[in-house]
Amino acid sequence: MWIKKNIAEIKDDIIKEKKDKTVPVLIGVFVFLVVIINTKLGIDKHSSSYFNPITWAELFKCIPLLALLSIAASVATYLYRSYIMKHNFSDYSICIKCEKVYRNKKNVKAENMMICKCGGTVVNLNRVKWVDDENY
């Protein structure tokens, strides 16, 4: 059954959303560091010697390209998380009594639709959680 989240759970959700926004930046930094180390050591599995290190001067010439690569990885991660993995339940509301789901209209906020036809309370899906009947 659906029950309303308490204040602490709602705050935890907000903190998780803020942490999720830092993931693309961390991936970009990780890609940049891995590519810099790989380029500096000259790791090439197709050459006769596995390591073919380059000089620092050559590495500094490559940094703009490597930074562009890491920015592209960050943007790709951001787009992937924003569009493909999007689980935005704020577009939906649910009646706690009859469990009927309503799609919120773009120009009408969910707070304007508080009572279902069955007499139950309609709540935004971000504000409720599912609990098995035997646990409640």
More confident residue, 119 or 133: 119
Q: Identify whether 101 is part of a domain.
A: yes
Cα(3)–Cα(30) distance, integer angstroms: 40
Residues 69 and 94 in one domain: no
Residue-level pLDDT at 126: 77
Cα(100)–Cα(59) distance, integer angstroms: 60
Q: Identify whether 44 is part of a domain.
A: yes
**CB-CB contact of 62 with 42 (8 Å):** no
Residues 73 and 107 in one domain: no
Model pLDDT for residues 58-114, shown as the tens digit of each residue? 888 888 988 998 999 889 888 887 776 665 656 788 888 888 888 876 544 545 557
Residues 65 and 101 in one domain: no
Q: Identify whether 43 is part of a domain.
A: yes
Residues 17 and 78 in one domain: yes
Residues 21 and 77 in one domain: yes
Residue-level pLDDT at 39: 83
Residues 55 and 109 in one domain: no
Using the structure block, give the residue that is written with the tokens 């991936």: 27
The two three-digit tokens of residue 70, written as one number:
């890491």
CB count in 10 Å sphere of residue 73: 19
Q: Which helix (H) or strand (E) holds 103?
A: strand 101-103
Residue-level pLDDT at 110: 47
The reported pTM is 0.53
Residues 19 and 58 in one domain: yes
Q: Identify whether 3 is part of a domain.
A: no
Cα(91)–Cα(33) distance, integer angstroms: 39
Residue-level pLDDT at 3: 83
Task: Give the number of domains in the chain.
Answer: 2
Residue-level pLDDT at 44: 63
